[in-house]
């Protein structure tokens, strides 16, 4: 019998556990290899709430430097740890916006908080194409953990927002500008049903090679591959290895204006349903 999940796959696919494991892995590498440790700085600054609330407040205040009320360099995105398809996500730039989760920080604990969240520094200089924000959905198949046996699917796609991006704080609640989830964008007035608001990975790389050059594009691909490798290594020692199991992970990655990739989350059971002909050809 073959099962399409490893028993404790949540160690990589539940947002708070993923962050905890990658942070631990980074610390272990730096302790063992010091200056020779490979770069694992591919996660935006992230805290788990309510547990890390005080640490988050400290970091938030440290970043509070902008005096322009229409702009902000201190934008954070909050996500429930166990939800998908953009459910429960919102963006903040003021501490009072999360007071409903932290009415009294001294009393705020896992015992009396219904939901846990992760709060991450918002990537506020995203690479834009046609003025619009996008992210990447890429697939990795794991068939064994010790040793790691993993396969990168060479195809993938970009998911575009339907509204052009601005950094104006007045637009922080515009999901059609900030959240790339198809489950959200399909309700936008400018959603294109024929292409599903998507580009193939192949088209993206062609575009980048023509606008940013081959060397920069090749480095981006290398850096994304490094995210795959290091995120898997981060959970290798704690994953239950079972020869009867495999797992297809859906990686969500955002690229910033410097062509630096950031890992947003890793999905278990990524959608393989098709919304367009190109989608169907890629996922079949």
For residues 27 and 152, state if they share a domain: yes
**Predicted local confidence at residue 3, as pLDDT:** 72
CATH number for the domain spanning 35: value is: 3.30.470.20
For residues 261 and 132, state if they share a domain: yes
CATH number for the domain spanning 51: value is: 3.30.1490.20
51 vs 250 pLDDT, higher one: 250
**Which of 63, 91, 122 marks a domain boundary?**
122
Tell me the average pLDDT across 139-164: 95
For residues 173 and 147, state if they share a domain: yes
**Which of 96, 122, 148 marks a domain boundary?**
122
**Which of 106, 122, 138 marks a domain boundary?**
122
Tell me the average pLDDT across 257-272: 93
Kindly state the tokens that stand for 234: 């981060």
For residues 25 and 73, state if they share a domain: no
**Predicted local confidence at residue 249, as pLDDT:** 96
Domain tally, the chain: 2
State which residues form the domain around 59. 45-122
Residue 225 has pLDDT above 90, yes or no: yes
What is the b/e burial string over 96-112, where b = at least 16 CB atoms within 10 angstroms of the residue's CB?
eebeebbeeeeebeeee
pTM for the full predicted model? 0.89
Q: How far is CA 98 from CA 53, 77, 253, in A?
A: 10, 11, 25
Reported as a single tens digit per residue, the pLDDT across 170-214 is 888 888 888 888 878 878 777 777 777 889 999 999 999 999 999
Q: How far is CA 259 from CA 120, 209, 254, in A?
A: 19, 12, 9
For residues 101 and 223, state if they share a domain: no
For residues 93 and 144, state if they share a domain: no
Reported as a single tens digit per residue, the pLDDT across 96-144 is 888 766 654 344 454 445 568 899 999 989 999 999 999 999 999 999 9
Place of tokens 């995210």: 227
Reported as a single tens digit per residue, the pLDDT across 60-91 is 998 876 555 555 678 999 998 877 776 788 88
For residues 36 and 117, state if they share a domain: no
Reported as a single tens digit per residue, the pLDDT across 34-65 is 766 667 889 999 999 888 989 999 999 988 76
Confirm if 62 and 99 have CB atoms less than 8 A apart: no
- With a pLDDT cut of 70, the percent of the chain lying above it is 89
- DSSP-based three-state secondary structure for 16: helix
The maximal CA–CA distance of the chain, rounded, in angstroms, is 61
For residues 183 and 243, state if they share a domain: yes
């Amino acid at each position: 019998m073959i099962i399409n999940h490893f028993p404790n796959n949540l160690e990589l696919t539940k947002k708070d556990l993923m962050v905890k494991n990658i942070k631990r892995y980074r610390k272990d590498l730096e302790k063992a290899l010091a200056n020779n440790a490979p770069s694992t700085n591919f996660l935006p600054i992230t805290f788990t709430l309510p547990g890390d609330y005080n640490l988050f407040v400290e970091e938030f205040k440290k970043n509070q430097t902008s005096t322009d009320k229409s702009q902000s360099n201190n934008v954070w995105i909050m996500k429930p740890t166990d939800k998908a398809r953009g459910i429960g996500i919102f963006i903040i730039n003021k501490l009072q916006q999360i007071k409903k989760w932290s009415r009294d920080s001294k009393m705020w604990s896992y015992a009396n908080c219904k939901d846990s969240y992760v709060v991450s520094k918002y990537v506020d200089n995203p690479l834009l194409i046609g003025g619009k924000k996008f992210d990447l959905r890429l697939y990795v198949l794991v068939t064994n953990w010790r040793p790691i046996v993993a396969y990168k699917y060479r195809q993938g796609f970009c998911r575009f927002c339907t509204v052009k991006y601005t950094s104006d704080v007045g637009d922080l609640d515009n999901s059609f500008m900030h959240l790339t989830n198809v489950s959200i964008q399909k309700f936008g007035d400018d959603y294109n049903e024929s292409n599903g608001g998507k580009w193939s990975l192949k088209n993206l790389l062609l575009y980048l090679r023509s606008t940013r050059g081959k060397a920069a594009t090749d480095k981006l691909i290398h850096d994304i591959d490094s995210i795959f490798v290091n995120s898997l290594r981060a959970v290798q020692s704690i994953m239950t290895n079972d020869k009867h199991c495999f797992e297809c992970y859906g990686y969500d990655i955002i690229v910033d204006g410097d062509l630096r990739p950031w890992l947003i989350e890793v999905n278990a059971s990524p959608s393989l349903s098709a919304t367009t002909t190109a989608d169907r050809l890629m996922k079949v």
